[in-house]
Amino acid sequence: MSTPNTVKLELPFKAPFDWPRTLRFFAGRATPGVEAVEDGAYRRAIEWAGDSGTLQVTRHPRKHCLIATIDGAAARHAQALAAPISRMFDLRADPRAIGACLAADPWLAPLVDAAPGLRVPGAWSGFELVVRAIVGQQVSVKAATTIIGRLVERAGKRIDDHPHERTAWRFPTPAALASVDLAQIGMPGKRVAALQGFAQAVATGAVPLDDPAADTTTLRDALLALPGIGPWTVEYVAMRAWRDPDAWPAWDLVLMQSIAARDPALVRPTQQRTRTDAWRPWRAYAAMHLWNEVTDRMGAARGG
């Protein structure tokens, strides 16, 4: 049911859809104060075209669709929000076609069999995702989440009278993050400089990261040209923000270790490339399956 201040959208997907693992991925990387996963739902505060509100996404108990509930003034933009929400939850993927391709590889076949509806979770904002990627360089997923929470408290904005305490903060704007004092935030000085240099580039429009009309090839080059941003960050953003199904973060430690465990002769990405190229054009999904395997085994978010 929809009201003027609440709109529910049914967003269809092709089955199977591994909703529990999608939520697990988001939960392990949720920005404290901004995003929350609880009671089978993903929730966050949002802004769209100057209007604010709350987004909640759940899986329909019977139909092959997700239910996106938008509360607040942002509900008036519900139809415009359908596309970015669908991209965020990878609803356009064809899991049977992707699975059939990847399952031809004996390494990936059991992983596809274990999680046939695995998706590549996206992101609400490309800017947020790059911030997380920079913060996450050379630290664990858990440590990155802790630091991101500190960034939100220093540079974000608390939402007055917000109905959900766990999502009562707005993520810092590029301008706010570029100018805030990040002393003793828990990152090395060079990484702080890289983070704020990136934020400044977005704030000035030099890197139009969330402009849907921007050319992704140009954006890749622009990101790589910034200090402290390397190929891993760019490929990770391509996977999750730009929806490139063939993006491959080759220097991800978990991916490198997963491949080397299967063939000790393949230690570095340059040695692994021939094998990973066989997973084209779905290497992003291969990465998700390898990350998921480790998470299933260890019970904690690893990789990505």
Using an 8 Å Cβ cutoff, are 137 and 233 in contact? Answer: yes
CA dihedral 161, 159, 40, 112 (to 10 degrees): 170
What are the Cα distances from residue 280, in Å, to 110, 115, 277?
Answer: 18, 19, 6
Q: Which two tokens stand for residue 73?
A: 């003034």
Burial class for 112, CB neighbours closer than 10 Å (0-12, 13-18, 19+)? buried
**Which residues have a catalytic role annotated?**
252
φ, ψ of residue 96 to 5 degrees: the values are: -70, -45
Peptide bond into 281 cis (omega under 30): yes
Q: Which residues, in sequence order, are CB contacts of 254 under 8 Å at separation 6+?
A: 290, 291, 294, 302, 303, 304
Q: At what angle do helices 283-298 and 95-102 cross, to 10 degrees?
A: 80
CA distance 191 to 134: 7
281: helix, strand or coil: coil
Give the type of residue at 96. Answer: R
Peptide bond into 16 cis (omega under 30): yes
Q: CA-based angle 241:247:249, to the nearest 5?
A: 95
